[in-house]
Amino acid sequence: MQYKLLLVEDDEDLAVHLSKYLQIRGFFTGLAGDGQRARQCLAEGPYDLVLVDIMMPGEDGFSLAAHLKKSYPQLPFLFLSARNQKEDILKGLGLGADDYMIKPFDAEELVLRIHNILRRSIGVIAEMERYDLGTYQFRFNDLMLIGTSGEKVLTEKEGKLLKMLCLRKNHLLNRAEVLHELWGEPDFFNGRSLDVFISRLRKYLSDDPGIRIESIRGVGFRLREV
Q: Residues 41-62: pLDDT tens digits?
A: 988 878 889 999 999 988 899 9
CB half-sphere exposure, 24, CA atoms < 13 A = 8
CA distance 115 to 193: 47
Q: Are residues 111 and 177 in the same domain?
A: no
Q: Residues 159-208: pLDDT tens digits?
A: 999 999 999 999 999 999 999 889 987 788 888 999 999 999 999 999 99
Q: Are residues 93 and 168 in the same domain?
A: no
Residue 203, domain member (yes or no): yes
Q: What is the DSSP string of 114-145?
A: HHHHHHHHHHHHHHS-EEEETTEEEETTTTEE
Segments forming the whole domain that contains residue 172: 154-225
Residue 146, domain member (yes or no): no
Q: Are residues 123 and 162 in the same domain?
A: no
Report the mean per-residue pLDDT for the chain: 90
Residue 182, domain member (yes or no): yes
Q: Are residues 23 and 93 in the same domain?
A: yes
Q: Residue 211 is part of a domain; what is its CATH number?
A: 1.10.10.10
Q: Are residues 69 and 174 in the same domain?
A: no
Q: Tell me how crowded residue 175 is: count the other CB atoms within 10 A of its CB.
A: 20
Q: Model's pTM, two decimal places? A: 0.56
CA distance 217 to 54: 56
Q: What is the pairing mode between strands 4-8 and 28-32?
A: parallel
Residue 133, domain member (yes or no): no
Q: Residues 89-106: pLDDT tens digits?
A: 999 999 999 999 999 999
